[in-house]
């Protein structure tokens, strides 16, 4: 018997019948059968005994439960199952009830449908302990003043999204050595907002499997979700020394697997605990063991928000104005203020305390674009800006400086070359799925020491070198530095 086809039909029916407003509020995007099987397949079944207690919070039409029950009944017919499926939306519960009935028909399966709010309910049936949790939680911002945010903060950790609150609650409900598998957006892995979530989660679980879908439109395409999703499976208990990394472009494509040391996934010295989706192939050269802070350099976001400072911005140069730099001016290597910046005013008036505070003094700075398009080959694009006058940097740029002042030109040049290298871009991609590069990201990236960066600058014939030249130089300088 295989109930999964019928559940897939029910899922599509349920998805089609959703009220768009409720769908948005409850984050109702149901998991296709092929993905449900992937999630169910990530859980280890070897150590299970007796009656396995299963939780599916935010169960929708029950696709995940069906996939897991099918797998367990097929691979471990010796076990009995008890499933608790939690769903808040009464429109969906009839579909869910049908799926649970179909699960029971396998035999040795008991189910319980609990209608209620997983984050606020007092119903003890949702709180475990459970041996296995499988969930595609709802995604959506969790505003500070909501009951859901306050209660989950009290019970587990204060976190800004429904999905991370669901995930935390799921982990809290696990028995020792219990396992959870979740499909979630990638933002938890490196977002600054999720630092406290990571710091809460990581000491109490072992990350076992991480799967990243490299294409944004592959998983929930039929419910209109375009975002990078990851599947994470974990065990409650101490971290194992290795993590299995799976990568897939989308469904129907082959999944590659690689076992990597945990220290590569979360670097021991990383105080933000970024989780890197690395295949283990991107090797950071040992000599690149410094952060910007070690080099005495700070990464900041440009201070001028154009729509707030309209009165200070001018299309044409006037006396008392200084260059206004946008990310459109940044090219790999340099910054060209002569380039048109989509009709934006190119000059910024200084001369008042408020305006002067928004500029940097004359000197040399490294600018890094904050946003790139998906099509651009590099996420990190850096250019050197030098001026003997103060300059205003737009808020969609990041700039590197030394305590608000410029950087020694050779060092700035070396920093830009390093930032524009393919190696650095690949390192960046191991922890970020975004096209956005924020100051926090720059703060945790690895850099060689100042001498090596200056040597790199001296070896480059020009700052606008071709990609091949940059990569060749970086390779040479880093091999020499590693050998020292
Ligand atoms: C992303 S959908 C996933 C549904 C199903 N697990 C699947 O994978 O197809 C999230 C589900 O959680 C439900 N939900 C949203 N907020 C909830 C809450 N606070 N408590 C319980 N369920 C909730 C939604 O109605 C929706 O069915």
Distance, CA of 198 to CA of 143 (rounded, Å):
19
Distance, CA of 5 to CA of 92 (rounded, Å):
18
Three-class DSSP labels, 409-425: HHHHHHHHHHHCCHHHH
**174: which 2 tokens?**
């696990």
Q: What pLDDT was estimated at residue 216?
A: 47
Half-sphere exposure of 136 (CA within 13 A, CB side): 26
**115: which 2 tokens?**
């209608």
CB 178 within 8 A of CB 255: no
Distance, CA of 368 to CA of 381 (rounded, Å):
6
Does the pLDDT value for residue 452 go beyond 80?
Answer: yes
Q: Summarize the chain as % helix, strand, coil (round to 5).
A: 35, 25, 40
Least confident span in 136-140, 225-229, 288-292: 225-229
Out of 15, 20, 26, 65, give the residue to mutate to test ligand 1, the one with the largest number of ligand atoms within 8 Å of its CB. 26
Q: Helix, strand, or coil here: 54?
A: strand
Distance, CA of 128 to CA of 60 (rounded, Å):
20
Name the residue with the closest Cα to ligand 1, atom 14: 58
Q: How far is the CA of 14 from the centre of ligand 1 (A)?
A: 12
What digits encode the pLDDT tens for the residues 64-74?
A: 999 999 999 99
Confidence label for 45 from pLDDT (cuts 50, 70 and 90): very high
149 lines ligand 1 (CB under 6 A): no
Domain 293-476, what architecture?
Alpha-Beta Complex (3.90)
What digits encode the pLDDT tens for the residues 87-103?
A: 999 999 999 999 999 99
CB 437 within 8 A of CB 398: yes
Does the pLDDT value for residue 463 go beyond 70?
Answer: no
**133: which 2 tokens?**
């949790």
Name the residue with the closest Cα to ligand 1, atom 19: 117
**Residue listed under structure tokens 């070896």:** 459
Out of 21, 35, 37, 58, give the residue to mutate to test ligand 1, the one with the largest number of ligand atoms within 8 Å of its CB. 58
Distance, CA of 324 to CA of 348 (rounded, Å):
6
Q: How far is the CA of 2 from the centre of ligand 1 (A)?
A: 24
Q: Where are the beta strands (DSSP E) in 35-144?
A: 51-57, 80-87, 109-115, 130-135
pLDDT (mean) for 375-392: 91
Distance, CA of 328 to CA of 325 (rounded, Å):
8
State which of 156-170, 337-351, 459-473 shows the largest mean pLDDT: 156-170
Does the pLDDT value for residue 13 go beyond 90?
Answer: no
Does the pLDDT value for residue 223 go beyond 60?
Answer: no
Distance, CA of 381 to CA of 375 (rounded, Å):
13
Q: Where are the domains of the chain?
A: 4-265, 293-476
Q: How far is the CA of 23 from the centre of ligand 1 (A)?
A: 9
Distance, CA of 392 to CA of 389 (rounded, Å):
10
Confidence label for 370 from pLDDT (cuts 50, 70 and 90): very high
What digits encode the pLDDT tens for the residues 102-144?
A: 999 999 999 999 999 999 999 999 999 999 999 999 999 999 9
170 lines ligand 1 (CB under 6 A): no
Name the residue with the closest Cα to ligand 1, atom 11: 58
The top-level CATH class assigned to 4-265 is alpha beta
DSSP assignment of 361-390: -SEEEEEEESB--TTSS-S--EEEEEESS-
Closest approach atom of ligand 1 to CA 119: 19
Name the residue with the closest Cα to ligand 1, atom 2: 28
What digits encode the pLDDT tens for the residues 314-324?
A: 999 999 999 99
92 lines ligand 1 (CB under 6 A): yes
What digits encode the pLDDT tens for the residues 416-441?
A: 999 999 999 988 887 777 778 989 88
Confidence label for 226 from pLDDT (cuts 50, 70 and 90): very low
């Amino acid at each position: 018997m295989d109930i999964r086809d019928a559940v897939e039909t029910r899922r599509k029916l349920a998805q089609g019948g959703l009220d768009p407003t409720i769908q948005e509020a409850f984050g109702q995007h149901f998991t296709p059968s092929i993905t449900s099987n992937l999630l169910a397949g990530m859980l280890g079944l070897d150590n299970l005994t007796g009656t396995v207690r299963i939780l599916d919070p935010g169960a929708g039409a029950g696709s995940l439960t069906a996939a897991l029950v099918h797998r367990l009944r097929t691979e471990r017919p010796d076990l009995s199952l008890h499933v608790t499926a939690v769903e808040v939306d009464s429109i969906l519960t009839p579909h869910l009830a049908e799926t649970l009935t179909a699960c029971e028909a396998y035999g040795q399966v008991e189910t319980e449908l609990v209608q209620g709010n997983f984050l606020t309910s007092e119903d003890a049936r949702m709180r475990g302990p459970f041996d296995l949790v499988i969930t595609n939680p709802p995604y959506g911002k969790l505003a500070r003043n909501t009951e859901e945010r306050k209660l989950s903060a009290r019970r587990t950790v204060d976190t800004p999204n429904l999905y991370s609150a669901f995930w935390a609650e799921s982990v809290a409900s696990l028995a020792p050595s219990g396992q959870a598998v979740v499909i979630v957006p990638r933002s938890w892995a490196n977002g600054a907002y999720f630092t406290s979530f990571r710091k809460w989660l990581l000491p109490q679980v072992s990350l076992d499997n991480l799967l990243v879908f490299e294409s944004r439109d592959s998983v929930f395409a039929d419910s209109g979700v375009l975002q990078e999703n990851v599947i994470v499976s974990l065990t409650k208990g101490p971290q194992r020394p290795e993590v299995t990394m799976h990568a897939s472009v989308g469904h129907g494509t082959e999944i590659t697997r690689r076992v990597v040391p945990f220290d590569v996934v979360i670097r021991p010295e990383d105080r933000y605990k970024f989780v890197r989706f690395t295949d283990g192939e991107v090797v950071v050269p040992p000599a690149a063991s410094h952060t910007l802070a070690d080099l005495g350099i700070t990464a900041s976001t440009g201070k001028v928000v154009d729509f707030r400072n309209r009165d200070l911005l001018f299309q044409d140069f006037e006396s008392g104005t200084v260059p206004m730099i946008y990310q459109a001016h940044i090219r790999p290597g340099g910054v060209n203020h002569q380039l048109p910046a989509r009709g934006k005013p190119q000059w910024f008036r200084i001369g008042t305390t408020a305006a002067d505070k928004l500029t940097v003094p004359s000197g040399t700075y490294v600018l890094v674009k904050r946003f790139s398009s998906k099509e651009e080959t590099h996420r990190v694009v850096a250019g050197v800006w030098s001026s003997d006058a103060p300059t205003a940097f737009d808020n969609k740029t990041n700039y590197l400086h030394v305590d608000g002042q410029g950087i020694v030109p050779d060092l700035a040049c070396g920093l830009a070359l390093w930032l524009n290298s393919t190696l650095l871009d690949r390192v960046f991609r191991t922890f970020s799925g975004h096209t956005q590069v924020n100051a926090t990201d720059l703060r945790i990236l690895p850099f060689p020491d100042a001498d090596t960066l200056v040597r790199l600058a001296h070896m480059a014939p020009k700052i606008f070198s071709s990609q091949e030249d940059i990569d060749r130089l970086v390779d040479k300088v880093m091999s020499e530095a590693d050998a020292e």
